[in-house]
């Protein structure tokens, strides 16, 4: 059974260390509840424990805040805990020639944590695409 909350993601990560897998599984659960805003808000409401792994703790904070912002849910207070922020920038992917782009397009929930990633870092196959996604313009500069 997939994790039902971000707190459960952290609890499972404590057991096997695979935070990435558990986060992806949680996102599938969250997206399957699209349209059930009360249920989705409950999935991110409870504060997950800190794992003591700086990048992971910051990323989990970014996930909670980004999902709240993207789905119009209340932003949980726990995402503002100082342990949810990095002190050194993390680029995903860590390609020097992409850094300028990643700085510009990273969602605010990740950028404020010094996590620089693509415009929709939490996309999955179960992502509710009818809500729209952030994409590159087909031509740059755009025609007028």
Going by pLDDT thresholds of 50, 70 and 90, the confidence category of residue 110 is very high
Mean pLDDT of 127-139: 61
Residue 139 lies in a domain: no
The confidence band for 126, taking pLDDT boundaries of 50, 70 and 90, is confident
Residue 136 has pLDDT above 60, yes or no: no
Q: In this structure, is residue 29 part of a structural domain?
A: yes
Quick check: pTM over 0.85? yes
Helical residues (DSSP H) of 1-144, grouped into ranges: 6-16, 19-32, 37-45, 54-71, 99-105, 108-111
Q: What is the mean pLDDT of residues 91-116?
A: 95
Is the pLDDT at 142 greater than 90? The verdict is no
Residue 138 resides in a domain: no
pLDDT in tens, 71-103: 999 999 999 999 999 999 999 999 999 999 999
Range of the domain at 33: 6-122
Q: Which of 42, 115, 38, 35 is nearest to 26 (CA)?
A: 42
Q: Does residue 67 lie in a domain region?
A: yes
User: pLDDT tens digit string along 11-57?
Assistant: 999 999 999 999 999 999 999 999 999 999 999 999 999 999 999 99
User: 54 lies in a domain?
Assistant: yes
Cα radius of gyration rounded to whole Å, the chain = 15
CB 31 within 8 A of CB 124: yes
Residue 127 belongs to a domain? no
Q: Is residue 133 part of a domain?
A: no
Count of the separate structural domains present in the chain: 1
User: Is 10 a member of any domain?
Assistant: yes
pLDDT for 131 equals 66
């Amino acid at each position: 059974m997939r994790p039902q909350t971000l707190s459960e993601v952290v609890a499972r990560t404590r057991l096997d260390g695979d935070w990435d897998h558990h986060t992806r599984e949680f996102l599938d659960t969250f997206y399957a509840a699209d349209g059930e805003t009360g249920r989705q808000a409950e999935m991110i409401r409870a504060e997950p424990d800190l794992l003591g792994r700086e990048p992971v703790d910051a990323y989990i904070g970014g996930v909670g805040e980004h999902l709240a912002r993207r789905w119009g849910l209340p932003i949980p207070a726990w995402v503002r805990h100082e342990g949810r922020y990095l002190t050194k920038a993390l680029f995903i992917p860590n390609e020097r020639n992409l850094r300028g782009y990643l700085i510009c397009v990273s969602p605010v929930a990740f950028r404020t944590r010094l996590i620089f990633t693509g415009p929709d870092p939490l996309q999955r196959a179960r992502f509710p695409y009818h809500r729209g996604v952030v994409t590159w313009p087909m031509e740059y500069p755009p025609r007028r």
